[in-house]
Amino acid sequence: MSARRSDGGVAVVGLGRFGAHLAESLTRLGHEVMAIDRNAELVQRWSDRLDRVVQADTTEEDVLRQIGVPDLPRAVVAIGASVEASVLSVLALVEVGVPQIWARATSSKHARILSSVGAHHVIFPEAETGERVAHLIVTRMLDFIEFGDDFAIAKVHVPQSLVGQALSQVRPIDRYGVRVLGAKLPGEPFRYASDATVLQEGSVLVVEGSIDQVQGFAELG
């Protein structure tokens, strides 16, 4: 397991198949996880495999405050079996002030409801993997595809430190460990990267490299 990162951690609400996989993926990535479920059997099952597992009703604001959820910068509502519990949990997380709320949707209608009550990001786990969602939640990457053998392609905002530079200045593999494949400048469509492309404020890049390399590139200031 990788070393813990001091990023404030992530609350994962719901320990069904997707929630449990997501919690494990976040843990492997070195992030502190508070896993929450109202089902005592699931809590017991995962208590030995995750750092902190809590039995609680996440639809109640007072309960969320008691277990310290408002102190976390991110929460993921991974509940899939009950739309009502999913929506009420998101609403409770909004009310206690969690800055970033991700929520699992099981249909387009469910997704619209989740967004309307305050979810910042809505995901469809049937089309996503817990590993991929974990990377998106805890990094600045806008999109991420892992191809195995520690190789990935990611879509990232251009780091502020590279604004104004031509791609010829940021291409060298030995400098950042990634290869810039494409760039989308403000107001323009995506184009294949060329050495003459000058990165502007608000540009988006598509880069390839190892998982650690593309993640590290996305985190450049």
Render pLDDT for 24-73 as a digit per residue (tens, 0 to 9).
888 887 889 999 999 999 999 999 888 899 999 999 999 999 999 999 99
In the chain, the amino acid numbered 85 is: A
pLDDT at residue 172 in the model: 56
Distance CA 182, CA 155 (A): 9
Cβ proximity of 183 and 191 under 8 Å: yes
Q: Where residue 5 falls among pLDDT bands split at 50, 70, 90? A: very low
Q: Which pLDDT value is given to residue 7?
A: 62
What percentage of residues in the chain have a pLDDT greater than 70?
A: 78
pTM above 0.75, yes or no: no
pLDDT at 125 over 80: no
Tell me the sheet residues that pair with 208: 153, 179
CA dist list (Å): 13 to 2, 111, 187, 210: 23, 17, 38, 30
The number of C-alpha atoms within 13 Å of 213 and in the hemisphere containing its C-beta is 19
**Average pLDDT taken over every residue of the chain:** 80
